[in-house]
Amino acid sequence: GQQVMQIPQYQHVQEGEDFTTYCNSSTTLSNIQWYKQRPGGHPVFLIQLVKSGEVKKQKRLTFQFGEAKKNSSLHITATQTTDVGTYFCASLPGAGSYQLTFGKGTKLSVIP
Amino acid sequence: SQTIHQWPATLVQPVGSPLSLECTVEGTSNPNLYWYRQAAGRGLQLLFYSVGIGQISSEVPQNLSASRPQDRQFILSSKKLLLSDSGFYLCAWSVYYGYTFGSGTRLTVV
């Protein structure tokens, strides 16, 4: 399946600071999905991006899909302790495929 | 609404023992079903997926197997567990996009 590289692996921020995680691929992605996994929990679907240059917002979270559809980012404005967890990007090889491939995730710690 | 049930939540098994993890989905028909494994502090690895009853696709060769005896039931099995089988096993389903994961089973092989 497609390989998606995610950076950074870890990020420690002071509460109130912003946070960004990046997802990169050497090949064009048909779509990108983002998930959040709280400590001890299971991944929870956040959003899917499909269109080149697409930007979607969910409250303090902003998701972007690159113009070339080879990269994506998740930006959190003014982090809160409830944002703690690991954020994963994931991608399907193409329409009608089933092998959702996950990046290794970015583990976010928020210092109160 | 759709729900996914996965059990048990935790499991400690000796090396060489068999394994059976069950996952059931409610509130949807003909879902795509998946088994993922997550090693401690690492990403998710797709093990098996199924698009229908009796249809199983394996992503990683190993001593695990999967079965789908009913539309909304997905089972992960092993005849003899290895130490390397320890991990967090997650069942998931999807219909269109966005996977919904179960709460997972933490398996420790000792």
Confidence of residue A66 (pLDDT cuts 50, 70, 90): very high
Q: Which of A102, A111, A88, A109 is nearest to A21 (CA)?
A: A88
Is the peptide bond preceding residue B8 cis, with omega within 30 degrees of 0?
yes
pLDDT at res. A79: 98
By the CB < 8 Å criterion, does A66 face chain B?
A: no
pLDDT at res. B95: 77
- Section B90-95 average pLDDT: 91
B71 Ramachandran zone, left/alpha/beta (phi>0; psi -120 to 50) = alpha
Check A99 against B59: CB less than 8 A apart: yes
By the CB < 8 Å criterion, does B49 face chain A?
A: yes
Shortest CA gap B32–chain A (Å): 8
By the CB < 8 Å criterion, does A101 face chain B?
A: yes
Confidence of residue A2 (pLDDT cuts 50, 70, 90): low
Is the peptide bond preceding residue A8 cis, with omega within 30 degrees of 0?
yes
CA atoms within 13 A of residue B94's CA, in its CB half-sphere:
18
Looking at beta carbons, which residues of chain B come within 8 Å of A44? 101
pLDDT at res. B61: 66
